[in-house]
């Protein structure tokens, strides 16, 4: 069975939990506190919800030990992320949204929209593989392109890299967008200054730019062969 719709439609907050867990679960289990912070919800509420999510089979959870998604939970999270990214793409490319406003709107819409809407939208958009931040869009069958990118701040001097995606922090996006730091751009790292982490890069036209580490940590790149 590929990507079966959940029996009962999941409430929007359930989806928020799944996404939050998915996002911060690169390293195993996720703590109550972490979830509570991502969702701006009291820790006690998180505990509560985790118990329920476990009963629903979406999460594995052990008291005082944190939570992780089950296969089913992961599938549901990826479905939401697919929706989110497709919707973002639509808002940015067709409705002229600014990067600042997209995220919030997409966040709300992704919980409301049906599978039919999602797939028709995908069709309308020409089945994009990435959203405009460069983040890969999970496929209908729950497949997600492996992500081997790393922060620009970790690239050594002399490296040639291509921007893969940019973090989706609202104010940062605007800043990066204005400077043309968008996915697909190829840069050569000229210098990484030990002292303060300032990194200097050169674009294809020979222009050079310098960024502090807060920026460099939010621009993800991959090596260019």
Partner DNA sequence: CCGGTTTATTAGCTTCAGCTAAAAATATTA
Partner DNA sequence: TAATATTTTTAGCTGAAGCTAATAAACCGG
* Positions in the binding site for DNA (CB under 7 A): 11, 13-14, 16, 31-34, 36, 39-52, 61, 63-66
CB of 86 to DNA, least distance (A): 23
What is the smallest separation between the CB atom of 60 and DNA, expressed in angstroms?
12
Query: Residue 45's binding partner, choosing from DNA, its own copies, none, with beta-carbon cut-off 5 to 8 A by kind?
Result: DNA
| 103 is a site residue for its own copies (CB under 8 A) | no
Residue 152 CA, distance from chain mean position:
17
Which of 104/147 has CB closer to its own copies? Answer: 104
- Per partner kind, with CB cut-offs from 5 to 8 A, the member of DNA, its own copies, none near residue 41 is DNA
11 binds, among its own copies, DNA, none (CB under 5 to 8 A by kind): DNA
Residues 6+ apart with CB under 8 A from 154: none
Taking the CA atoms of 150, 151, 152 and 153 in sequence, report the sign of the dihedral they define: negative
* Residues 199/217, Cβ–Cβ less than 8 Å: no
CB nearer to DNA: give 32 or 153: 32
At 205, which helix (H) or strand (E)?
none
Binding mask of the shown chain, residues 117 to 146, with x at each position contacting its own copies by CB under 8 A: x--xx-xx----------------------
Distance CA(102)–CA(92), nearest Å, equals 7
How far the first Cα of the chain sits from its last, in Å, is 39
* 90 SS3 class: helix
- Give the separation between CA 68 and CA 124, rounded to whole angstroms: 34
Site for its own copies in 135-194 (CB under 8 A): none
CA distances from 51 to 8, 32, 191 (A): 18, 11, 50
Determine the interface stretch with its own copies among 17-25, 92-100, 151-159, 192-200 (rule: CB under 8 A).
Answer: 92-100
Burial of 150 (0-12, 13-18, 19+ CB in 10 A): middle
The strand pairing partners of 150, in sequence order, are 221
Distance CA 122, CA 127 (A): 5
Number of residues that bind its own copies (CB under 8 A): 19
Question: Which residue, 27 or 40, is less far from its own copies as judged by CB?
Answer: 40
161 contacts which partner out of its own copies, DNA, none, CB within 5 to 8 A by kind? none
CB of 114 to its own copies, least distance (A): 6
Closer residue to DNA, CB minimum distance, 79 or 133: 79
Binding positions for its own copies, rule: CB under 8 A: 91, 94-97, 101, 105, 108-109, 111-114, 116-117, 120-121, 123-124
């Amino acid at each position: 069975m590929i990507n079966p719709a959940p029996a009962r439609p999941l409430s929007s907050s359930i989806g928020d939990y799944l996404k939050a867990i998915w996002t911060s679960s690169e390293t195993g289990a996720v703590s109550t506190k972490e979830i509570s912070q991502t969702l701006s919800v009291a820790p006690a509420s998180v505990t509560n919800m985790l118990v329920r999510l476990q009963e629903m089979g979406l999460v594995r959870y052990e008291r005082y030990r944190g939570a992780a998604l089950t296969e089913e939970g992961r599938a549901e999270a990826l479905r939401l992320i697919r929706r989110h990214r497709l919707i973002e793409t639509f808002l940015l490319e067709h409705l002229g949204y600014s990067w600042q406003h997209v995220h919030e709107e997409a966040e709300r819409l992704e919980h409301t929209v049906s599978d039919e809407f999602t797939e028709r939208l995908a069709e309308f958009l020409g089945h994009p593989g990435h959203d405009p931040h460069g983040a890969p869009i999970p496929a209908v069958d729950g497949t997600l392109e492996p992500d081997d990118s790393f922060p620009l701040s970790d690239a050594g001097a002399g490296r040639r890299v291509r921007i893969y995606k940019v973090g989706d922090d609202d104010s940062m996006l605007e800043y990066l967008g204005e400077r043309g730091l968008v996915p697909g751009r190829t840069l050569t790292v000229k210098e990484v200054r030990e002292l303060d982490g300032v990194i200097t890069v050169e674009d294809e036209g020979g222009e050079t730019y310098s960024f502090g580490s807060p920026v460099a940590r939010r621009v993800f790149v991959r090596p260019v062969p």
